[in-house]
């Protein structure tokens, strides 16, 4: 076995050991907020109305995450592939992100929520970039919850960028690579994803946190995102806590 394999094995073991403490360790929950468009269409409304209601669901979910003692909440707000949507929908989404940051930052400071926007910044409008920087700076000392909002995010692009920054002919450990990856998406350090929720009834990952979700528990909810309530979040957490996480190892009792 090579040295790097040993290091990776020991990392897997420490993740497995951490699983034993999962009740105590603050969780990283990631959510693919899907179903805004279908929610609106089913009511004879424009898709943008679904996104607006989706923003209200974001507020409820952040509130629930605080109450439930979640450590990190990562929300998939706009994928790099979403640029292909009609221009008015893209503009409406960008306006919603801007408005969210402008309206919520003060309360986040008060409640100890640290905001970090992950993803590429170079294709965002300068005014939105400035709002992101203001929100991140103002909330940087928050310790109650790390709220990461993924905008112009692609896991594969982030992995490519992190890999391109590796020194040639030098092996990186998983920890090192994880740090590079976080840097590539403007994120403060945070644990890997424990629970990944997708609403809207589809069951796929859509290029979201592929590296960080290597051992995430997946939970698919038929609920459209605008209808997602605290009770749905709690149901997902209940399902998570009923699962046995082994990280590729064998539980002690079974190992005999
Ligand atoms: C996917 O649903 C959702 C999006 C691409 C946008 C998510 C945005 C929000 C929830 C609005 C506000 C966000 C923040 C952070 C303030 P879809 O439109 O693909 O739904 P569909 O599959 O039903 O068409």
Q: Copy the structure tokens of residue 245.
A: 């996480």
Model confidence pLDDT, tens digit, residues 159-197:
999 999 887 767 889 999 999 999 999 999 899 999 999
Q: Which CATH superfamily groups domain 29-242?
A: Decaprenyl diphosphate synthase-like (3.40.1180.10)
Model confidence pLDDT, tens digit, residues 113-126:
999 999 999 999 99
Quick check: 29 and 73 in contact, CB under 8 A?
Answer: yes
Does the CB atom of residue 52 touch ligand 1 within 6 A? no
Q: Is 100 left (phi over 0), alpha (psi -120 to 50) or beta?
A: alpha
CA 174/CA 171 separation, integer angstroms: 10
Q: Is 34 a catalytic residue?
A: yes
Q: What is the pTM of this model?
A: 0.90
Looking at 8, 36, 81, 82, which residue is catalytic? 82
Tell me the CA–centroid distance for residue 38 and ligand 1, in Å: 10
Residue 248, Cβ density class (10 Å: 0-12 exposed, 13-18 middle, ≥19 buried): exposed
Quick check: 82 and 90 in contact, CB under 8 A?
Answer: yes
Q: Is 192 a catalytic residue?
A: no
The domain spans of the chain are: 29-242
């Amino acid at each position: 076995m090579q040295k790097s394999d040993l290091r990776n094995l020991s990392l897997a073991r420490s993740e497995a050991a951490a699983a034993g403490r999962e009740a105590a360790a603050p969780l990283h929950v990631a959510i693919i907020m899907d179903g805004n468009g279908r929610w609106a269409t089913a009511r004879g409304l424009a898709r943008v109305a679904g996104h607006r209601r989706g923003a209200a669901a974001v507020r409820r979910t952040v509130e629930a995450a605080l109450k439930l003692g979640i450590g990190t909440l990562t929300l998939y707000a706009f994928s790099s592939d979403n640029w292909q949507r009609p221009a008015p929908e893209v503009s409406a989404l960008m306006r919603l992100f801007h408005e969210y940051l402008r309206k919520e930052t003060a309360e986040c400071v008060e409640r100890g929520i640290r905001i970090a926007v992950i993803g590429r910044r170079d294709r965002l409008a300068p005014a939105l970039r400035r709002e992101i920087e203001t929100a991140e700076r103002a909330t940087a000392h928050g310790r109650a919850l790390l709220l990461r909002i993924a905008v112009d995010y692609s896991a594969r692009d982030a992995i490519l960028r992190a890999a391109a920054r590796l020194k040639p002919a030098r092996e990186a450990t998983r920890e090192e690579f994880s740090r590079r990856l976080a840097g590539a998406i403007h994120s403060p350090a945070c644990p890997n994803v424990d629970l990944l929720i997708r609403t809207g009834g589809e069951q796929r990952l859509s290029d979201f946190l592929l590296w960080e979700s290597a051992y995430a528990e997946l939970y698919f909810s038929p609920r459209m995102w605008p209808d997602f309530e605290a009770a749905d979040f709690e149901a997902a957490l209940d399902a998570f806590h009923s699962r046995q996480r082994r990280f590729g190892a064998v539980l002690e009792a079974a190992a005999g």
